Structures are given as C-alpha cells and as structure tokens.
Structure 1
Amino acid sequence: MYGRMNNNIYILLFCIVFLISIITFTTIRIITDKEREFKKLPNLKAWKYISILIIVAITSFYGVEIYKSATNYGGKLAWFIERLKNERSVKFEHNNIYEFGVEGIFEDINKEHPLPKKLYMASDFDLTFNSDGIITAFDTFVYGKNAHGKEETYLIAYDKKKSQDITIIRNGYANPDYDDDKLVEPLIKTVNAIPVKQTVSKWNESKYGLVYYGKRNWGYNTEGIININEDGKEHNLEKSTSEIIGYTVSIFVPGKEKEVVPARYNLIGDPNWSKANTNPNQKSSKEKQQDLTNSKEQFYLSKEVGYKLNITDKALGSTFYSLSKTIDGGKTWEVINNDPFNGTIGSASGITFLNDKLGFLVAVRPSGTEGELYRTDDGGISFKKVNYTPREVKLDSGQSISPFDSPGMPYEKDGVFNMLVGQGSDGDYNGNSSALYQSKDKGETWEYVKEVKSS
C-alpha cells in the first residue's frame, strides 16, 4: 500500500532533489571554506537532534502504516504474506482428460496434499481442454473435513499459459453448508463414464469446455440431456414425462453455446444422484424450490425473471463476479453489471431481489469474519455499499466491542425492511447472537432494534 511507486513518486522525487541539494551545498561549503565550516560544526548539535527526531517520527509513522498494510488484507504485503503461508504448487502430470478424466487432477494433488475424502464445492468446476485432450485451464473452490474433523478449504487453479503446476491455496473461507447437491464425487465418476473424445469429435473445434455446478433441476427441458451409466451406455431423452434432476456434467464449445447445444450428461444408477417425479403435477415444496434454483449466487424473482452472479476471476480465496439477468426462465442470460461488488475482496454469500428494481447482494471477506451489504434500485445496473451504525456492546471486563459485522439478506415484513447482522466465522459473543436492524426507506438506511439470540 505504501511501497508502490505510483503512490509515492512525488515524495520520492522531492527527497531525491532535496538530498542532492544538501550534498551539493555541503560539498561546496567544505571545499570553499573548509576551516570555517569545521569551526561551526559544534553549533550543529541541535540540528543533529532535530534530524534524529524527524527520522524517528517518519520511521514510526510509515512503520505503523506498513504493519497495517501487512495485516487483514490491507495491502500488497498482506497478500504476499498470505501467499507465502497458504499457497502451494503441485506438478500436473495427469493432464489429458481423454486418458485420466478429472480424477487425475485430484490424484496429483493427493500425492502431496491429501484432500478430505468427502469434498464439496463452494464454487463451480470449470475446465477447458484442446482437441488432443490436453487440459489448458481449470479452477474450483472445494472444502471438506479431514480425518480429525477439522474443516479444510482448497482454492484449486491451473493455467497452462502461466505455469505447468497446479496452484493450491489453503485456509480460505468457503461459507460451508455441506450441501450434498454440491458433492465433488459425482463429477469424477460422471467424467470417467463419458466418452469425452467421441463427444467433442463431432464438433471439430480446437478448444472445448467442461463445467459442473453440482445437482441441477432441468425441469422438462430435454435439450442436450444424456443419461449415461457407469459403463458408458447413453440414453438420449427425446421427451420427458417427469422432471430431470441430476448431477450434470456439461461439455460444450466455449463462445458457441447458442450455436452448438452442449452435451449434458447425468450419471444414472445411484438413485440419490438422478431423480425424477412420476407425476409431474405433484411436487414437494423442496422440488418447487429447486425449480427456482435459488442459491447464494442465483435468485429467481419469478419463473421467467432471474439474476445470477457469474465468476469472472479468483485470487487467494477471493472471487470476482459479473451479474447476469434472464427473462426467459434461464434459457438465455445477459450480463447487466461487470462488477456488482465494486471490486470488493471476498466472495458472494447472498443475492435477493424484492422487485424488478430493488435488490441486495452480500459479500463476505476471505477470512469469513465480516461482510458487506450492497443495494441496487435500478435492477442491478449499479450497486452501492450500504452503511449501518455498528452496535457496540460492553463485556464484563468493561471493554467495548462491535461483534455484529456480517449482514444477512434483507427481507420485507409489514412494509418494514428487516436485516439480521451476525458475527461471522469468528463470532463467540453471547452465544453467537445477531443484531436486528430495520429500515423504513427500502434499505437505504438502517437502525438497530435489538439483539436476537441464535435459535
């Protein structure tokens, strides 16, 4: 933060000019009148002490600022330290998807960094590969509990253009919910069953993509859907008499998704992985919710209108997004905001729209200890950070703290907007209670109401 050239170039130039001037002036004085100069040296004792005080003051000030920039993701030094602590590299040997599927990726990682046996995705799995099967890039964010029951997270990324190694960043914040709809195992088994080379050969392109979001509900849309068993036997669906629900692995041509229908594979055999209702007119409440596929990164205002946060970049546990909108039930999406969080470092933990104009987003910091609320009143075209006065509480020791720093999704009740602000992953005050805030101006300003105990 304080070491960057563009921040301090004018100060640096001034110091250089000042230093050269002093050296020049002093040299001239010594040369022209050496005897008189040395006689005056004892009189410079006061200036010596003043100089020492100036040096100590400047050093102390910038020392404190540099320390701040090295903690809590405050500057470039903090990111360097974070990389040093948590970033690791793994040699990528099983890099041909035709031969090793995606299982080879996890096999290479497990050699040096054993992963939890049961892995969940905090973000989708994206991968690209060439026509010869060589994997060119992939990224995902996974988490799980190790043999000792401790939670572990792994941001996994690879870009052939930048390195021949897989990059792993540990100890990020994944906002874990251990939802079985986000299991990694179906991805590995499904790709093992798919004849990937045969699938892409009919498209005759130089580059292909693979994406996995976990379990998905396709409704009665059979376009591109292929049921496949573990032996690789395919069952194309021409017509569906029930909803199609499964862990779907899609293979596609990047940039031509509208022209070339992706091949969407569902592995059948395990009843928990691929389900369908026998009576399409009878749906449980859970299945109705799946129709909307609302999540922390996607929200449907109606069956036709929906909003989705798309991952555009990742770095050190942080995720950057664009915001898309659909008006045809998810068949087509249009990006309406390239940076809805305005450069915020962290990841999305919630999205909601109360009408076609008013909506909210919540981002959580990489540490998971605090979050920020964003509001739009133009349908997502722009967002502004929402500020609210932190609620201070006094501990028995007399110390004052502000434990409530992780806002939840606002909701409307009787014309009043409500929001619970929690304590984040480090919360331990009063049983991890929350603070209730209310707004009477549709979420522009918020007032503290009361403390709410966790149920």
Structure 2
Amino acid sequence: MFLVVYVTAWGAFVRLCLYGGVRRNLPLLALCMAFFAVYLIVYFAELCMYGKRSLKRIFSQFEIEENRIAAEWEEDDRKQQAVFELRDVRWYRKKKGQIFLFLKGHRFVWLDTEQISEQKREFLEMKLTQRGILATHFWRIPIALILAGVTFLGAAGTAWSAVPFNGKLSWVINELQSSRRVRLVHNNIYEDGLDGILEDIRGKVDLPEKLCLVNSFNLHFRADGTVETLYTFVKGFDENGNFVDSYLISYDAADSDKITIWLGGAADMEFDQEKDLEPLLEAMRVLPLKETVENWQEDIYGILYYGERSWGYSTEGIRYLEPDGSVSYPGAYASAEIKGFSVSVFCPENEAVTPVRYLYRGIL
C-alpha cells in the first residue's frame, strides 16, 4: 500500500511541475500527503506500544525449546523467566551479535548472542529463518530498490521541469525571480494621483526617478476615483542616463489588490525623449481630472498617455494645460501642427464621447 501511494504521489507531483493542473493534481497530492501523515502517526504509535509492552532489557541467557525461546534473568536476587513463541515473530533483524525480534502484540525482544555457542546461534537463526522469507525482511531489498528508482525518476523529472521553458515549474520560478507584487494602497486617482501609485511601487521595487515609456500608459478608474486597471511598460535610468532596468506594471482590481511588476524584457536600452514619463507625472498633479469627467455620466473613465503626439491640425478635444493648472483652448482652426506631450482622458466603454486631450506645456 505504501509503495502504491508513494508512486502515485511522485506521479502527481511531477505532473504538477511539468504541466500544472492544480485542480487535478493538487487534491491527489494532498490525499497522498495525508496518507503519509497517518502512516507516520501509526508508526510512532507502534513504537510507543512496543516500548510499553516490551521488557526493557537485553537477554544474554536463553534457551531454545522446540518453537519457543525461554529467556532468564535475575532481578532482586530472584530468577525470572519469560517465554516467547517463535510463531509470534513478525520479523527480525540481525546486527553483528545482536538479534532483534518483533513479536505480535507489539512486543520487542533483544537477544545478545555473543555469549552463546556458535552451534546455538546457528540453531536460533535456522529457527527464525523457518518463519519464512517475510520474517527475515528480504522483501525490503526489492522494495528499497523500487523506492530508490521512483525517487530518482521523480527528482529527475522535477529538475527537468525547472529548466527554462521545459515545464510549468520553470515559469513559476521565473515569476518568483522576475516579478514583484505590492499592494496598491493609494488607489484613488483623485486623492493620490500617480505619485501615490509610484510610491507604493517604490516600496517594493527600486524604481528610478527617470523613466520613459516602452509603449503606453493606460489607467482606468471609476467615477469616485478608484483605480480599476493599470497597464504600462517603462524603462528606468539613473541620474547619469545609464539604463537600469525595465518594468512591466499591471493591475486589475477585479483579480487582486496588488500591482504586479515584471522586471526586464525591454528590447532596447536607450532613453526615448518623446516618451518621457515626467510630463505625465507633472500634468497629473495639476490636471482637473474630476471636473473633466463629471459631466460624462459613465461608470469607467480612462487616462491614456503615449508621450509626445501629433494631432495634425484637428482641434477636437484639444486643451492646453499649463504648469500652474490653468487650461486654455485652441481656436476653431489651427494654423500650425498641434503637437506635444498629450494626456488623453476618455470613456473606455463609450466611444461616442470625445476624449479630452491635454497638451502639457510645462516641458518644452
């Protein structure tokens, strides 16, 4: 039974490491672990019972009478005797001149054969051997070989699944090494702004001050300002302009209250001035976000930033945002190309609403 459960446990564990399948393999693995726990409890319980029901002494004087062993010893100047039936021997072990008998009823007998004659010792071993091959525990050798083989194959399969791209375990290890998770405490865009979100991230990740986008910054929030989702991929640089690392940042309130930050993955290590993140951070400190969306009457609103963008000559939705927070509008017709660092406020679930595009003039 133990061997079957052991093989089953290794099989479930290796499949879990190679292919995942938590719902299928984890319950089976848990049942196997429960079996091993019960097995261990029973094992220690039997040891306690052997200790309580056995005579705590080593017998060096004993006689073999047909199918019985009669042991003698002196206690309080009186000769004592105990008789053990050989048919009660469940199994025995032999180590040098010592023989350990495990009897039915959880009794244990320790025989010291060093002081008896060679003929008597051989006769005792012959009697014990007559108890059958199971009594001598010869069956332990093939069982031990099978257990060793299963353990080796299971360990090899687990190690192979940990090699990059070989199995589910490798992806779990990669996630532990390359990702960080931090709880979003400053989750209200009205009250905390983007600075609050970056403060939470920097509590877990050494995020540089100088950042630029790899692709875009996209944040969705509810009418009360609660952040719903966030996605951006940025590169970080030190004060000397040297590349530090890249950071893929994602958050979905429907799945977790934690932001996930993946380290690495950027294709290039150059700072792209047109995708500088600083204009977004400065603009969000003065942008009248709540006033912009309050008349739209939608459940979800969004903030989108690609860095510097060109809007051609279209003035639709365009507003100029100054560092002091003042907002101005272009004329009905533009005489020059409208271009600059743009923060778009829009309705993700209603494309009929024209986005408001704030061109920040704090960084020229």
**Common fold, TM-score beyond 0.5?**
yes
2:303 pairs with 1:204 = no
Q: CA deviation at 1:104?
A: 2.1
Which moves more between the two structures, 142-151 or 199-208?
142-151
2:194 pairs with 1:99 = no
- Note the 1:277-316 alignment, pairs <5 A: none
RMSD: 3.6
Give the alignment's TM-score, normalised by structure 1: 0.48
Q: What is aligned with 1:2?
A: 15
Aligned residues, how many?
Answer: 252
Q: What is aligned with 2:215?
A: 123
CA contact (8 A) 1:226 1:237 kept: no
Q: What amino acid is aligned across from residue 361 of structure 2 in structure 1?
A: I
- Structure 1 distance, partners of 2:134, 2:203, is 69
- Is the alpha carbon distance of 1:270 and 1:6 closer, same or farther for their aligned partners in structure 2, counting shifts above 3 Å? closer
Work out which of the residue numbers 142, 149, 171 in structure 2 matches 1:79: 171
Work out which of the residue numbers 56, 68, 73 in structure 1 matches 2:160: 68
Work out which of the residue numbers 224, 246, 256 in structure 1 matches 2:340: 246
Q: What is aligned with 1:230?
A: 323
- Is the alpha carbon distance of 1:68 and 1:181 closer, same or farther for their aligned partners in structure 2, counting shifts above 3 Å? farther
- Note the 1:410-421 alignment, pairs <5 A: none
Q: CA deviation at 1:44?
A: 8.0
CA contact (8 A) 2:211 2:277 kept: yes
Q: 2:251 is paired with a residue of what secondary structure?
A: strand
CA contact (8 A) 1:158 1:166 kept: yes
- Structure 2 distance, partners of 1:238, 1:37, is 110
- Is the alpha carbon distance of 1:184 and 1:71 closer, same or farther for their aligned partners in structure 2, counting shifts above 3 Å? farther
Q: CA deviation at 1:37?
A: 10
CA contact (8 A) 2:180 2:204 kept: no
Q: CA deviation at 1:253?
A: 0.9
Q: CA deviation at 1:130?
A: 1.3
2:167 pairs with 1:154 = no
- Structure 2 distance, partners of 1:143, 1:220, is 31
Q: What is aligned with 1:22?
A: none
- Structure 2 distance, partners of 1:37, 1:134, is 81
2:147 pairs with 1:55 = yes
CA contact (8 A) 1:2 1:8 kept: no
Q: CA deviation at 1:70?
A: 1.9
Q: What is aligned with 2:72?
A: none
- Is the alpha carbon distance of 1:237 and 1:127 closer, same or farther for their aligned partners in structure 2, counting shifts above 3 Å? farther
Question: Would you tell me which structure has more helix in proportion to its own residues?
Answer: 2
Q: 1:124 is paired with a residue of what secondary structure?
A: strand
Q: What is aligned with 2:285?
A: 192
Higher relative contact order (CA closer than 8 Å, sequence separation 6+): 2
Which moves more between the two structures, 118-127 or 36-45?
36-45
Q: What is aligned with 1:287?
A: none
- Structure 1 distance, partners of 2:23, 2:250, is 31
- Structure 2 distance, partners of 1:95, 1:82, is 28
CA contact (8 A) 1:249 1:265 kept: yes
Q: CA deviation at 1:252?
A: 0.9
Q: What amino acid is aligned across from residue 273 of structure 2 in structure 1?
A: D
